[in-house]
Structure 1
Amino acid sequence: MSALSTKRIVLAARPVGKAKEDDFRLEQAPVSDPGAGQLLLRTRYLSLDPYMRGRMEEAVAIGDVMVGQSVVDVLVSNHPSYKAGDVVLAQTGWQTLSISNGERLRKLDAADFPITTGLGVLGMPGFTAYVGMRLIGQPKRGETVVVAAASGPVGSLVGQLARIAGARAVGIAGGPDKCAFVKNKLGFDVAIDHRAPDLAQKLAVACPNGIDVYFENVGGAVWAAAWPLLNRLARVPVCGLVSQFGQQTPPGPDRLPATMRQILVKGLTVRGFINSDFLDQFSDFQREVSAGVSSGQIKYREDVIDGLENAPKAFIGMLEGRNFGKVIIRVAD
């Protein structure tokens, strides 16, 4: 009988409003030996992503391990496609050891790129940016693209793909350091601090010809500032609404009638999407973006925090914009 145990973080309570550290619980649990066709995995890096906040509402049961994708080492393999020592991506959740039946695994090669890129620019966040821009936004040369959370793993690639397509990229980020990174390192044409009291006026100045693509991943005040500037036939890919997590009712007046009228009159395309609906495009994404990373044309930034026990605090900080780049928990070296 196995004497192994895993350290794991489970959902302790449904969040009311903003997520709190008390909504999580760190515990120890036994791990069985892998059976026929199974693998024993050790988590090396854990990805923290905004979608997890939505899963806390109902998808994760109280007492269950928080969901999440990880870079893991295969410790023991009884599966024909994997061997001990392989490094793979897996949906392990927030825990140090786990058992897998081999489904939804993808091998990584550390010789090509740092393995953490599989959780960021070459993984799910990067693919989200790619789907939203290449398949929905489809920016054209000379058009204007606006994206919030522009220093994060999704927004940073959105703006760079816009520039590669010949469009202007306007990024909105939090604070002077992030804005400097967006403009000077990532190559956006303009960077605007979302904390500015005159955000709407600054965005209007930055977009004298209006907005052709607004990549929506935040909502709230940024959406309110961008909405009046949308041009006729503008495209709005919607991948998230981070500012609205935990809100029971939207603040302020009912804007739905005016919004629907604008969609009608301007012929807008507003499309929500989940990147997993486009997995047939994943190989194209990998080929294009990995080539850009290799050449230095596409840049990225990671925010790595040590220790699984620090995941709840880091997760809450990410939702509040305290991170700088793709948030990754280093669980084990």
Structure 2
Amino acid sequence: MDILYRPRRLRQNDAIRDLVRETELNVHDLIYPIFVMHGMNTQEGIQSMPGIYRYSVDRLMEELEDIVKLGIPGILIFGLPEYKDAVGSEAYADDGVVQEAVKAIKRRFPTLLVITDVCLCEYTDHGHCGIVKDGIVDNDASAELIARTALSHARAGADIVAPSDMMDGRIGAVRKALDQNGYQHVSIMAYSAKYASAFYGPFREAAQSAPQFGDRRSYQMDPANAREALREVKLDIQEGADIVMVKPALSYLDVIHAVRQRFDVPLAAYNVSGEYAMIRAASANGWMDEHNAALEALTSIKRAGADIIITYFAKDAAKWLDTIL
């Protein structure tokens, strides 16, 4: 058999495979999501997300010591409020849990990149991402409060604010609020293509943010749509987004790739709670090797085109990648 080209020649050993590898996953690609809550000396486990915890601000500092040592460049903060109301008041309160956490982090770890999730769902008693009027989420009233929340995070010291509510026009509203108040240097990471996904279930337990009625399909994207994602991304860029995001990641690798091909801006992808929980659960049952499965999943996200990967595997991946190197 006369074979001119044998692809297996470049798969003979680790040295050759490393030499010709097309996609390299690096710790600097990773952002670690963190849940912060009120109280002192508190660390609560999350049943559906083994290895992930809610922290009081003082205990969070201990966790961040490990994150910094591992070389993970930044965190994405989600807050659990002390109380909830119809308008999500603590989301934009100067002494809110996220605002207090950001101040403490910047005092202790001034060079750690701090990204804050900007939304109302954790803070409203109805669990929706905006203001509800007559049973419907009011887009423009909600966008105003999203901008107010982002501004409060910037005042606390956030490096990047990340609006995740999916209200129309909220990126423009956030950019305007930041610029008019002297925070032109604060970046916006827009959850541009955020789908109404079944893979958010464990997160809603962690953040206590499940909607109390209905669902979020009137503002989050239909999982069947890909071209619509490109329109959403384009709008967010036009309104002032510095980084765009696709969420979730693994079920939307095609969307990540399409955004990467179309737009020349930094692209983030969120490896969400359900994606994390599936690998953890399969590993716990002996059905899958967690180390290899997680790194394969993360590599696929980067191969699809993501520059930034937000993942609950960040700490583990940093250790695994260090071992490989």
TM-score by length of 1: 0.28
Compare the two structures and name the one with the higher helix fraction: 2
